[in-house]
Amino acid sequence: MYKITQNKEDHFLEIYNTDKSNYAKLYLNQGASLQELILKNNKVIQNLSPLSYSKTYASSILFPFANRIKDGKYSYNNKSYQIDINVEEENNAMHGFIFNKTFNLIKKQENKDYASVTLEYNEIEETAGFPYKYKVVLNYILKASVLELNVRVINTDTKTFPFTIGWHPYFSSDNLHDSSVKFKSSKKIITDHRNITTDVENITPINELKIEDKKLDHCWCLKNNNITFTTPNYNLNISTSAKENYLQVYTPPKLNTIAIEPTTGVSNSFNNKIGLNTLKANDTFNIAWQLKIE
């Protein structure tokens, strides 16, 4: 039997089965981010302490833009906008607006074989640099070997807005040196010293990235919607329902930890338009991500 418990004082939810061989911990006041995940007794996502959430954006939903906007500036429909800078050393805006918002629990289901929670954030103010109202609904489902995250974005404004979206989970490996990330790509995003996209280059087709001692903060254009994180202890398939996909891989200053980030756009997408989407008034955008132990 799967259960759901809520700690209202510390703003987190726990989803688990009887023996906690499958377990998920969500922080509602940190963008409803997934801070811990166990699948079939494998510690897939762990707390990144002493690294802080404000620096890592661990497992946050990246909306209305993934990665960075150069100088926080962009133009849309012949109007110029300035987003607040939150990475001062780069003078960039990064990872959107909902990573630090508090989500409300609006529905939960406990069953023999799975449990699910539906969480909601309703933006009713016009954010600086992004004068639009919207609603974000997250549905997390935990099963025996799978975690599913379904995201619904609803434009509750009267105007169309631009956006990309992404997810920023960090995964654990007992030995990252001997781990790898498998994906198909023949194009890599080139960035400058401020991590801003400057070009897209053709590369020798890649099927597997061996981590070894590499220090990574790179992005690729994906040929399909499947990624596999292979470790000495488990293999994890990461899939998305999106048609256009990009993959950011980053190694933080924490041993045996790696961020594997599926996104629908790249850095500075509001300006270079790579992967940029628009959502009309009253329309809804849906995307689903799945983590599955193979």
Domains of the chain: 3-293 (2.70.98.10)
Find the mean pLDDT for residues 155-175: 98
Look up residue 253 and give its DSSP letter.
S
Give the N- to C-terminal CA distance of the chain in Å, as an integer.
Answer: 22
Q: Band the pLDDT of 80: cuts 50, 70, 90.
A: very high
Q: Band the pLDDT of 193: cuts 50, 70, 90.
A: very high
Which amino acid, residue 65? F
Find the mean pLDDT for residues 253-275: 97
Q: What is the pLDDT of residues 66-79, one digit of tens each?
A: 999 999 999 999 99
Report pLDDT for 128. 85
Q: Mind giving me the DSSP string for 234-289?
A: -EEEEEES-SS-EEEEE--SSTTEEEEEEESS-TTHHHH-TT-EEE-TT-EEEEEE
Find the mean pLDDT for residues 135-147: 97
Q: Is the pLDDT of residue 281 over 90?
A: yes
Q: What is the pTM of this model?
A: 0.96
* CA pseudo-torsion sign 172, 146, 53, 216: positive
Q: Which two tokens stand for residue 168?
A: 């920023």
Q: What is the pLDDT of residues 36-67, one digit of tens each?
A: 999 999 999 999 999 999 999 999 999 999 99
